[in-house]
Amino acid sequence: MKKNKIFVACDSSNILKVKRIISKTQSSKIKVGYKFGLEFINSKDGRPFLSKLKNKTIFVDLKLHDIPNTCASTVKAIKDLKINYLTIHISSGLEALKATKKVSGKIKLIGVTILTSLDNKALKDIGFNKDVKKLVLHQARMANKAKLDAIVCSAQEVKLVKKVFKKEIITPGIRFNSKSNDQKRVVTPKQAYKNGSDWLVMGRPITQGNIKKNIQNLIDHLGK
Ligand code: C5P
């Protein structure tokens, strides 16, 4: 049987903490990749560390949100890093998505839909007049048009996204219980895979407290 796949979010600016996250999350039962976001990449030692990291599935979560030229140029600027996945906000627009995809080469370009920290009320506050589900579906169609390699959405929208986007679906906002922190659209790991997620993204539920125990909890929860 295929292994369940998760990206562990290495959200820290502390190299020792990130090293600990990597060593304590090794498992033969699930496939683990590592996600590095703005906090880590912008820390003093983050980029050099990443440039030396070998034999790992690496996801760089830059969440590009800019004009086509800037997004595409940024991809060129990180080509020295051997990374597997990179994010861009779909709301950067179709031209930016296409321009970035054109230069991304072997890096899988992931389109980020509506952040899992936003709900319908938050969208209204920003000025959107469509609800979460309609917007995510609309953006999944854009990701398809731009030939992106993967999409990020909440596991609540996976079934909907699958209707129009046939490649990898990656879902953050994963929680074992009601402790959702700043996330609004949350789903349990088991339910997220059941809905059809290819990869889960998990940060705090794995990296806070006893990391080894948290990974074992995940494996038990999944019945592996
Ligand atoms: O700690 P937690 O599990 O909430 O971490 C989720 C991770 O996924 C964070 O690194 C966050 O930046 C990222 N993410 C997200 N929602 C998105 C895209 C990425 O939470 N839509």
CATH of the domain at 125: 3.20.20.70
User: CA of 6: how far to CAs of 27, 146, 172, 219, in Å?
Assistant: 11, 25, 10, 11
Q: Is the CB of 112 under 6 A from ligand 1?
A: yes
Q: Kindly report the pTM of this predicted structure.
A: 0.97
Q: Supply the residues annotated as catalytic.
A: 63
Query: Is 61:39 a contact under the CB 8 Å cutoff?
Result: no
Find where tokens 């839909």 sit. Answer: 113
Question: DSSP per residue over 156-185, as a string?
Answer: GGHHHHHTT--SEEEE--B-SSS--TT-SS
179 backbone φψ class: left, alpha, beta (φ>0; ψ -120 to 50): beta
Closest ligand 1 atom, CA of 9? 10
Query: Is 108:85 a contact under the CB 8 Å cutoff?
Result: yes
pLDDT tens by residue, the chain, 224 residues: 789 999 999 999 999 999 999 999 999 999 999 999 999 999 999 999 999 999 999 999 999 999 999 999 999 999 999 999 999 999 999 999 999 999 999 999 999 999 999 999 999 999 999 999 999 999 999 999 999 999 999 999 999 999 999 999 999 999 999 889 999 999 999 999 999 999 999 999 999 999 999 999 999 999 98
Find the domain containing 14 and state its range.
Answer: 5-223
Distance CA 75, CA 98 (A): 13
Closest ligand 1 atom, CA of 183? 4
Q: Is the CB of 37 under 6 A from ligand 1?
A: yes
> Could you give the number of structural domains in the chain?
1
